[in-house]
Amino acid sequence: MAQHDSRPRSGASSAAPTRGFLDAARAPMVPAAREALLAALDAGWADPRRLHAEGRRARAVLDQAREELAAGLGVRPPEVSFLPDGPTALRAAVEGLTHAARRRGQRVVATAVEHSAVLLEGRYAVAHSGEPDRFAEVPVDPLGRVDPSALESALDGPGTVAAVVQAANGEVGTRQPLAAVHAACRARGIPLVVDAMAGLGRDPVPADFDVLAGEALSWGGPPGVGVLVVPERVRWRRPGPVSELEGGRTDVQPVVPLALAAAEAWRQTAAVREADAAAARELVDRVRAAAAAVPDVEVVGDPVDRLPHVVTFSCLYVDGEALVTELDRRGFAVASGSACTASTLEPSHVLAAMWVLTHGNVRLTLPLGAVAPDRAAVVDRFCRELGDAVATVRAQLGVQGL
């Protein structure tokens, strides 16, 4: 085993580096949203269901937040509900469709790169029902895009009552062909759930969906705010007793200050979305080029039709956890493993479904410019140090001459 040389290498400073946060799947709120949250703690602390003045004030704050998000999403305010987080909203989206259609069937179709909230629920349903056809995972191509012919075949399976497809994958950035997918679903009378958690606020709002799920974290809002959009035209019903909360779509009362902060973050982010996305795309292009220049490194996902702020690459002869640790030592916060189950440190189910390299996986999710005004400088430094960081980890593992 080669000994690690602790002396500073070229491109690395002996001083403690300035931290560079490149794992913005969960990032600080945009400053205006933080201020709105603090202000709402005074105005929106009461139960908005109460009739007293404090309750009416909280209700006004909640209505204001709902109206702001509905306008941004292109829907009516009653069609927007606040849930505890994005995965909860996504599960509710599927659950409400399947429960409403339970007399026709219970089969759900999803791509193999969907969020774990969908895949694990589907696999659980199969395991506990003894019905292998109850949940279908549709394959994707090496870029992570769903195979249209395979999707249509899956939709034709008997008892299919819902389909789930991401707007874009939060791990590799590849966008899905939602227009074609939605058309195939409409032709069969099957509602489509679109998971927009990875791109809302960073990419155009999806236009092709029947039910939409998102999360405020993606647009610089606070944690603890999921968004569920159920248009009035869609037949959706939550299992169990009818709830009076959020149009009957949850039994958890929204935290009013968090909802207002999410709406303010949306307002701030939407105003600069196109410019921020263009700048982020250029930075991601730099990272893709720098990673591709390192020997035995594979950059994955569609290089063009993708989210502007996400990039993933995989390195041969490198352990992903070790590389994340080395980059952290150099002042870069990055992620590894599956984007929705990263705490397990298991190989990414997304990369496995794409049939690409899963070893030494590193994922960057660039923060918004409002949160990280120095992100261009951080990306430049990351690009300069990446090759040396990979070489360092390979040397630690006794792999040399690469």
Residues with a known catalytic role: 340
Cα 80–chain centre separation? 19
Number of C-beta neighbours around residue 14 at 10 A:
8
The pair of three-digit structure tokens given for residue 49, joined into one six-digit string:
């269901």
Ranges of beta strands (E only) in 198-353 are 211-215, 226-229, 297-300, 310-315, 332-333
33-39 contact pairs (CB < 8 A, 24+): 33/220, 33/221, 33/222, 33/261, 33/262, 33/264, 33/265, 33/268, 34/261, 35/264, 36/260, 36/261, 36/263, 36/264, 36/265, 37/222, 37/257, 37/258, 37/260, 37/261
- Residue 167 and residue 176 in contact, taking contact as beta carbons nearer than 8 Å: yes
In angstroms, the Cα distances linking 245 to 83, 302, 318, 339 are 10, 40, 49, 30
In angstroms, the Cα distances linking 183 to 56, 168, 191, 216 are 43, 17, 10, 28
